Structure 1
Amino acid sequence: MLSMIRQLLDNWIVRAFFVVLIGVFVFWGVSSVVMGIGASDAIATVGGQPIKIEAVNAAYQRTLNAYATQNSGREPSKGERRLFADQALGTAIDRAAMELEARRMGVVAPPAAIRQQVFAIPAFHGPDGKFDKATFNAVLANHNLTPAAFMAEIASGLKTSQIIDAVTAGVSAPAPLVDQIFAYAAQERTVQFAQLPFAAANPPPAPAETVLRRYWRDHPGRFSTPALRDADVVVLSPALIARGEAVSQAEIAAQYQQEKAKFAQTPTRTVEIITAEDAKSAAALANAWKGGADWAAMQKAAAAATATAIVMTDAKPSDLPSATLAKAAFAATPGEVSAPVKGALGTYVFKVTKAVAGGDKPLSAVADQIRAEIQLRKARNVVDNTLSHLQDALAGSTALGKLPASLHLAKARVSVDREGMTVDGKPAGIPGPAALRQAIVKAIFATAPGNTPQAVSGPGDSYYAIAVHRIIKPALKPYDKVKADVLADWTGAQVERQEEVAAAKLLTAVKGGKTLAAAASAAGLTVTTSAPMTRAKPAKGVPPQLAQVAFSLKKGAPTMVQTQEGFVVGVVSDIAEPKPGSDKAFHQRVADSLGQSMQEDVLQTYAAALRQRDHVKINTKLLNQISN
């Protein structure tokens, strides 16, 4: 090859080409350094406008913090982290596209509207129920937000909402469609049915030995060992390594100080609340409550007085419907009925049934959680530092059983079926969490014997390698060892067939013109009549298999279904079509649900059009940096 190039260089045309080629490389190299090409910190561009990685990373970190709070400090998996990063970027892209659209259309967010919306947020209210700047700053700081950034988000939201309102204005479900769906969902059917349970059948006497042996041979799938695979498994998993990682008290204390806000416990109250229309009704209800009425009685009393009664469980101050109510509830003594409290929606009477004080959890209460987090973080570092050594060892054809201890591997030799069980029906000794074990079993049955082991990524940032040695085919178990199982299985099959024949005779009689009651009576069975039911609300006591089929039958048409308990023969005895205006609330819910679905479809189409028009480009390298 080199000699060929030397010969070509004797040609002046080729020499000129190489000069140009070298010049191009020099220009690209110099321009990359001087002009900073490829060094952009934009994770995406929308309409040529950059989205900085810092903004997406901040949203991503807030999602991680929320995840940790909701999952007792557990860190998300690699796949979950990538999903959170994609969601953060998607939100930023949609926001940027909407900002451009608002700019093109001249949509603005007046300062007065921004201020009004901020002042209306209950989380920013002080003890007097009004906006408090100190509370505002504290809440933002707790969520790693600056006032300027938060106000910009509010302004963006107001502009976006104006566009969304304009786009979705007039989008509603057509009345004929609403009526059709309402008629479908609200139609009521009544069924009559007779049950033939296996448990009530008379089992046949035990058959001759030859019959059982024939049954044993004819049903090998029921009396054979499962297909097994014999394999070596090695696992490199943070979950397994973490338990051996040493963590000092100083490390725990340092992380506690860094993440103290995460361990802050928000004060909550569980409150029984009655909202009356006026102070007089509220006072009367309060007197009855104080007189010893329980909550069930108060709910009935509230309904009679056209008041509403609800229970709010573990509610934060911002969850309660009124700042005045929140202030009173969090100052109340648990177990005592309050005096009437005037609010925007009416007059409240309440009783606090559980109170959880707020404040920081002490280090002693969260030390174990922090230790586990640090151990898992250290274990992930061990996995990251070890993976390349494991890959090198596997590339060198080192047998899995001879991999060195320095690789921090958990090893096992297993004979396992597709369910992860041994031949004795016990869980195979595959190391790792359940999701990882399932992934390994699936891989074992997807791998041919004699394969070259490779490090494969698994759930929980884990890696594993497998070597399948042989396939163990199913084998019929000796008759003497499974004789009792054969007899039980044969008896069950005979009872099932016996009841199926009886149910078929009953079905034939009804099809022949008899009523179900008459046919069932002749067979010594009882008939049950259900309450009217809809597709969404089956009647109590009706087998689900029958309820599902009942809405495909004509009135008077019989059917037969099998359940785990036996056979059921049923007939649709009545079909009641909903009358127009019979259930206005449900009709409105159908209309609202269909309308909302159509609006969401319109918005998704609109957002996709904006992305296409604005030529969205994503820097996948920077996106990977966030989630990794």
Structure 2
Amino acid sequence: MMENLRTAANSVVLKIVLGLIIVSFVLTGVGNYLIGGNGNYAAKVNDQEISRGQFENAVMGERNKLQQQLGERYSELAGNEGYMKAMRHQVLQRMIDEALLDQYAKHLGLGISDDQVKQAIFNEQAFQSDGKFDNARYNALIANMGMSADQYANALRRQLTTQQLINAIIGSDFMLPGETDSLAALAAQQRVVREATIDTRALVAKQQATDAEISSYYEQHKNNFMLPEQFRVSYIKMDAAQMPSEVNDADIQSWYDQNRDQYTQPARYRYSIIQTKTEADAQAVLDELKKGADFATLAKEKSSDIISARKGGDMGWLEPATTPDELKNADLKEKGQLSGVIKSSVGFLVARLDDLQPAKVKPLAEVHDAIAQKLKQEKGLDAFYAQQQKVGDAAMNDTESLVGAEQAAGVKAVESGWFDRNNLPKELDFKPVADVIFGGSLLGENGTPGSNSDIITVDGDRAFVLRIAEHKPETVKPLDDVRDQVVAAVKQQKAEQQAKQQADKLLAALKKGEGDAALKEAGVSFGAAQTLSRSQDPLSMKAFDMPLPEKGKPSYGVSNDAKGNMVLLALDEVQAGKMPEEQKKVMVSRMTENNAELAFEALMSNLRKEAKIKLGDAAEQQQ
């Protein structure tokens, strides 16, 4: 049972299942998970007690993790009593499995030294800052869990011991290269077959369907003829893009004056620099420049800033927000002006102001249309939200109709035609709208129209308020409405039965050596030989399930093809296959991953069978 675990050593599946990863306690806050608790127990595993406190802390950790993963969806699940019970059950079963693994590791005499625990703590990324162990961070995190250093170390020791158990088991087995080659050859094997097809479609035309057969089939397959739940709704649509939003030149001018900074191009400066490592080197450069040396030439020769040096010291155009403080403080105001020696965080600089552009404001005429569009959108949104409030209040004040909401919106409600979940009208085809309509909250007793909806907002600054006008529950379509479908199904069923009987009869004849005459009488013949590889095609699957042919004598079988026809197969030859190395590696990898979970389940099943597991009051009261 345990031999297969070796191939699962690096399986993601197994690591997830067995990973009692301590850092997860940090992230989810399961502080007392491995600490004893008071009160009645949740379970006893071979006399080892899982206390109520341990169980409730683990449940709380699971809730926290789900809330982080699901966000707003979690509140919906948290209100589902059945879901929460199932979640609690899963948590307890996981704790039982962990206890069994811990006990099995102790039985084998596995243990982890203090040095190994210490090294694992140092290596844990959650406790590191800038790639190094941070003792303050470590203490803060375990304190946040409500654990002492000793308690955390004990929990980590359990996790490492469990991993040691897995390593001990998987280290006792290995796969020989010959085994891999044999599996690859088997997977790459090909089979040469001939096919003789019994055309089911041709038999359908010969079938008759009696009234009794039609009625019987209809009664047995009513679920295939369901008419889905249907609705007609009345709704009012609100759209921000259609709200009145006229603006005038005075509005535009006022907004432009108040937000002039948005259309201002700040002053721009262009500097060149020469960077040196020492103040003396910078002073020497400055002295040469004052004597008339070429700035660009000196920058290329002597600047330690490689990037600007390649450009002769040129820094490009800079705005105040992107200009280093050292250059700002140099107080360079005129083109060509040199700075003194400037001390910086990277050494010393000599700078020159090469050019400057004063601040520039875009004229109103240039931005007039953009401001007008912006103000129209803002006014439209203001009107949209105001209308939502009015319509929503009116719909809640008069829950028996949309008359009040129509008056508030200034439009008549639209009446939809009949629709179901699969063909929502295009105008209403939004998930939030569908959730409200099909959620049942708008239906009264016995499926009658109920109250108005709240305001339903959707993407694109649109909103709806609606009510159910009429409702039809899910029902079975009358036989008269689906008679043609039922007749076709009955004929198809009878044709398939006839084809199956004919195929079985021919197969028996072929196995007796009397196939030629039987095939001729049935008007069926084998086609040309073809070579099949393993696939999910029904005929390929059947061909690889058939017994090997004897020398000069094919083996026979029967199957359905993808079109529903019955097909007789003659297997003439089995050809050895050779799988490319890369494909072989992929196959072995997939087998390892698939076997990992099966191997672990086998181990846990064996441990559970031999264990005495008793649920306590804390668990049973949740069942």
TM-score (normalizing by structure 1)? 0.39
Structure number with bigger Rg: 2
TM-score (normalizing by structure 2)? 0.39
